[in-house]
Amino acid sequence: MAKKNKKNKNNVNWIIKVTLITFLISFFLSGISELLIPNLHIIFGITIVIIFILLGVLFDMIGVAITSASEKPFHAKSAKKVKGAKTAVKLLKNADRVSSFCNDVIGDICGILSGSAGITIANSIINTFNWNPFIVTLFITSIIASLTIGGKALGKSIAIKNNTQIVYNFSKIIACFYK
């Protein structure tokens, strides 16, 4: 029973921690987006939206790869002291949390920010060209939604087929930031 209570406490702590991290990341990125996009040329605003979409797709791929990869190849690499292998094992042992962070925290924040930035771009287009607000907003939000969902659908199949390589590359990057 004590083990179950400890696990529940760890889950509650994780939920609180991920909620706070999400707030801070979202607050920071949204602030930057809101400060920059209205003052940028429309092309640069669109570029920022595309970057948000691509980041969301990338982190969704990483989350899927983490949940679908096996630890076995990384144990062998870890025994040979291959850089990033030990990190990969840690990531895979915590696949539920890593996947939640990548898919839900980063992926969802990018989705929300790309949508909000898209509205800012739509307003800029409406004001610059005096076009119909309904049509412009509908068009921009539909493009963002279709690129996000289509990108994630493509990314998921790539992630499942290449899960070991994706986990390994991500682990090498993560391993650079801590011992």
Tokens describing residue 97? 């949390």
pLDDT tens-digit map of 105-150: 999 999 999 999 999 999 999 999 999 999 999 999 999 999 999 9
153/85 Cα distance (integer angstroms): 28
CA-CA distances (angstroms) from residue 114 to 9, 61, 109, 123? 34, 18, 8, 14
Q: What is the mean pLDDT of the chain?
A: 92
